[in-house]
Amino acid sequence: MDDTGRSTDILIIGAGQAGLAVAYYLRRAARRDGPAAPSFVLLDAQSRPGGAWRHYWDSLELFSPADTTVLPGMRMPTHHGPGNPRGRDVVTYLTTYEQRYDLPVRRSTPVTALRAEADGTWTARTPRGDWHARVVVSATGTWTRPAWPSGPVIPGQEDFRGAVTHTVHYRSPAQFAGQHVVVVGGGNSGAQIAAELFLDAHVRVTWATHRPTAFMPDDVDGRVLFDAGARRALAAVRRQSDDDAARPRTAGDITGDIVVTPPVAAARSAGLRAVPLDSGRLLDDADVLLLCTGFHPELGHLRSPEARLPDGFTLDPHPRTTAAEPTRSAEAEGLYFVGYGDWTGPASATVTGATRTARPAAADILARWASDRP
């Protein structure tokens, strides 16, 4: 289907959790205001719903229970079984959510370049043709842009002849049967993957981290981690010192980095411990180096040679947003960013964070649209 010449008032790039959350509030405005509400469309690169959740490792467990892992307007079904919902549960939830609110998603339509026009509108280029909009919401996430370190992260890596891979390529321990895997990373991904490998009898694992691991108490879930992050972000916005962020962390610190999911707890009880990255030549007898080193914002539509942005537009380490509304671009009128992490709102890359940041983002977008109407 050729989309050349298509136009809408608000264009959302990406139909994962963040894009859907913003779309919910736009849909609600349409039901409230009828023809007076702005039109909107979501363009998504994938052929099926579910966002990045379709691509996580098989056993991924959420940090928080189903009753708090929700997008606006619809609760996630109760999870039956040990622990919290799995990644596949989120895929089902997002699929149902999109259908329930009849959100206008056009699939298999990646935006390859975004261009600012002289009249204040935007053009989004896709393989199916161009789309034109007055406001653009970038919600492309991070999963497709893994953060590969620019140099060695562990002694002996220069001479390592084994496989080097990343979280983005991990699926299950079956990939590494009979091998010694060195997992690098002290966050939740590193902990969950190291734990799963440690509990598998067919894999030997060494877990290496840059600093001592900081676990949350066993009876605390990701809700507390989100709230602690929100407090730190608020302190930064107010230019206040953040004593909680500055003081040393311990394994029992409630603001620790790692949520103790049941597999992580089981692996710790069975003897899993992280070792410092510089504690010897850990790679000497390793077969695989697995880097759990995070992700960067997927902003290929802004980095493309065909993109056209205002002079001086900041891309590294990420676009600049306003303090008053952290999703609104500080350098380009009518451009918003949602769901990329703390720079677009506290924990906004999570389902919970997407929900909490989508409402003020949508309100700001709708207010801008109303003020700019002819």
Q: Which domain holds residue 23?
A: 6-145+296-372
Tell me the H-state helices in the chain.
17-33, 87-100, 188-198, 222-237, 243-246, 262-269, 300-303, 351-372
Check whether residue 42 and residue 80 sit in a common domain. Answer: yes
Check whether residue 104 and residue 200 sit in a common domain. Answer: no
CATH assignment at residue 101: 3.50.50.60
Check whether residue 211 and residue 187 sit in a common domain. Answer: yes
Tens-place pLDDT, residues 216-238: 876 665 555 555 555 555 454 44
Three-state SS for 95? helix
Tens-place pLDDT, residues 112-171: 999 999 999 999 999 999 999 999 999 999 999 999 999 999 999 999 999 999 999 999
Q: What is the pLDDT of residue 130?
A: 96
Judged against a pLDDT cut of 70, whether residue 309 lies above it is answered with yes
Tens-place pLDDT, residues 15-70: 999 999 999 999 999 999 998 899 999 999 999 999 999 999 999 988 788 888 89
Check whether residue 365 and residue 286 sit in a common domain. Answer: no
| Residue finishing a domain among 291, 310, 336 | 291
Q: Does 180 map to a domain?
A: yes
Tell me the H-state helices in 273-350.
300-303
CB-facing half-sphere around the CA of 335: CA atoms within 13 A: 26
111 closest CA partner among 295, 344, 358, 299: 299
Listed in sequence order, the residues at least 6 apart from 151 whose beta carbon sits closer than 8 Å to its beta carbon are none
Tens-place pLDDT, residues 269-287: 999 999 999 888 899 999 9
Judged against a pLDDT cut of 70, whether residue 191 lies above it is answered with yes
For the whole model, what pTM was predicted? 0.88
Check whether residue 67 and residue 129 sit in a common domain. Answer: yes
Helix H or strand E segment including 7? strand 6-13
- 102 neighbors 94 (Cβ within 8 angstroms): no
Q: How confident is the model at residue 6 (pLDDT cuts 50, 70, 90)?
A: very high
Whole-number percent of the chain with pLDDT over 70: 87
The tally of domains found in the chain comes to 2
How would you classify residue 292: left for phi > 0, otherwise alpha for psi between -120 and 50, otherwise beta? beta
Q: Across residues 191-205, what is the average pLDDT?
A: 97
CA dihedral in degrees (44, 48, 52, 56; nearest 10)? Answer: -160
Lowest mean pLDDT among 160-164, 202-206, 216-220, 320-324: 216-220
Judged against a pLDDT cut of 70, whether residue 96 lies above it is answered with yes
Q: How confident is the model at residue 249 (pLDDT cuts 50, 70, 90)?
A: very low
Q: Across residues 235-248, what is the average pLDDT?
A: 40
Q: How confident is the model at residue 2 (pLDDT cuts 50, 70, 90)?
A: low
Q: Does 348 map to a domain?
A: yes
Check whether residue 284 and residue 304 sit in a common domain. Answer: no
| Residue finishing a domain among 245, 272, 291 | 291
Q: What is the pLDDT of residue 221?
A: 58
Tens-place pLDDT, residues 340-356: 998 999 889 989 889 89
Check whether residue 311 and residue 283 sit in a common domain. Answer: no
**Is residue 241 exposed (0-12), middle (13-18) or buried (19+ Cβ within 10 Å)?**
exposed
